[in-house]
A and B are shown apart, each in its own frame.
Chain A
């Protein structure tokens, strides 16, 4: 029974469950699609305007959509109290957290891969800065969203109104990461601003919060 084997087994199980139900992916796609279409009708931005607002728009859409996946990930464990079967096993807590976070990262990444071409088409986006830099920004930004999101979704698991509790806990803490993602994306799209600073901020945010979540997750899992 190794840390990696349990992480891999839990991740495999979550992917299989999502593949069969498609609950999280479908809900996230629907929500993101609504944001893209509604905003494109609500505004009629010039190419220059698009470059300035797209960073914020894209990440806010992904953040709200990710909430759906984050709530879903633990809802599966509460149904039939399956989480108790994990808690009563000799498996340590952190492989469960890590597998959930990686699973959510994969689901949100799939959403981003599907939605990014639509964002580009609807908002006529063309990066003036180094476009390839969007990839590390997406990876770091997505991890920042899901690592805290997975943790706070676990905290709000036993609360009555967890759908409201999760954003209430997650959004304030995500502000530094959101600033980093939006400003880094805008810097790439406009070719202006200090891209390195925002990427460094995202790296620091990810390291600090991943460590904190791993240190605290056992307490959250064992809370009654």
Chain B
């Protein structure tokens, strides 16, 4: 898939998200260039996952606007934008009773993708496409990789990853980080929410710091500039 002509992958303008009386986002604005790797940081409840879900079109902001790959996410063209998005959530988004290949073959149908792409996606995260075990019997690390393979299935321009390194051993985490850097080098845009930013320290283009539903700082390096 080619990168869209506009240089902004995501443009957020005054995003507010209320859950009842709780405001998860309190006015998030910012422009995020295409072809960069952004690491979103913040304590639990800072609004990182909510922001990612709004970018993915899974949640609508209470107020404010967002456009993704040049498409406003409040229009009927959301599905066009979503065709270019890969989303990996904290839960696996996989069926436990299906094998990895069966899971990916099903999702490939949803995207209208040829099933041979499934093998490539699984191999790209260093898993065996012929593994017969259902995903429910995978280790947590394998499940995380398979979840990443599912997010990569449609060769997305924009990849949204929520805690991709949680419960993954150090070696696998650094392998995944290398893969993410490769994807960035292919001019894909990545947003990675993580509590382990050090893993991406050498690969990230920008660290986005969130506190209490707001972006409070955007820095090029992880050290010394935290709010």
Interface, chain A (partner B; CB < 8 A): 1-2, 5-6, 9-10, 13, 16-17, 20-21, 76, 79-82, 84-92, 224
Contact of B83 among A76, A81, A90 (CB under 8 A): A90
The answer to whether B57 and A90 touch across the interface, beta carbons within 8 angstroms, is no
Of B112, B134, B150, the contact of A85 (CB 8 Å cutoff): B150
Contacts A1-B112, A13-B106, A92-B79 given; does A84 touch B96 at CB 8 Å: no
Supply 12 A–B pairs (Cβ within 8 Å), ascending by A.
A5-B112, A10-B106, A20-B134, A80-B91, A80-B95, A84-B93, A87-B57, A88-B87, A89-B83, A89-B107, A90-B112, A224-B59
In the assembled complex, the Cα of A17 lies from the Cα of B106 at a distance in Å of 12
Closest Cβ of chain A to B198, distance in Å, is: 27
Contact indicator A76/B82 (Cβ below 8 Å): no
Main secondary structure of the interface of A (DSSP, over half): helix
Q: In the complex the two chains form, is B109's CB within 8 Å of A21's CB?
A: no
Selected contact of A87 from candidates B58, B91, B111, CB within 8 Å: B58
Interface check B25, CB cutoff 8 A: no
> With a CB–CB cut-off of 8 A, which chain A residues contact B102?
13, 16
Q: B97: which A residues are within 8 A, CB to CB?
A: 17, 20-21
Interface set, chain B 115-173, CB cutoff 8 A to A: 134, 150, 154
B87 touches A13 (CB 8 A): no
Shortest CB distance B103–A (Å): 9
Of A2, A16, A85, the residue contacting B107 (CB under 8 A) is A85
Shortest Cβ distance from A19 into chain B, in angstroms?
Answer: 10
- Please report which residues of chain B, range 49-79, place their CB below 8 angstroms from some CB of chain A when the two chains form the complex: 56-60, 79
B98 contacts A13, C-beta separation under 8 Å = yes
CB distance from B99 to the nearest CB of A (A): 10
Cβ contacts under 8 Å, A2 to chain B: 112
Q: Verify if B1 is at the interface (C-beta below 8 Å from A).
A: no
Contact B95 A88 (CB under 8 A): no
By the criterion CB–CB under 8 Å, are B94 and A9 in contact?
no
In the bound complex, do residue B60 and residue A224 qualify as a contact, i.e. CB atoms below 8 Å apart? yes
A13 in contact with B59 (CB, 8 Å): no
CA distance A57 to B207 in the complex (A): 64
Which residue of A9, A87, A88, A92 is within 8 Å of B109 (Cβ)?
A9
B150 to chain A, nearest CB (A): 7
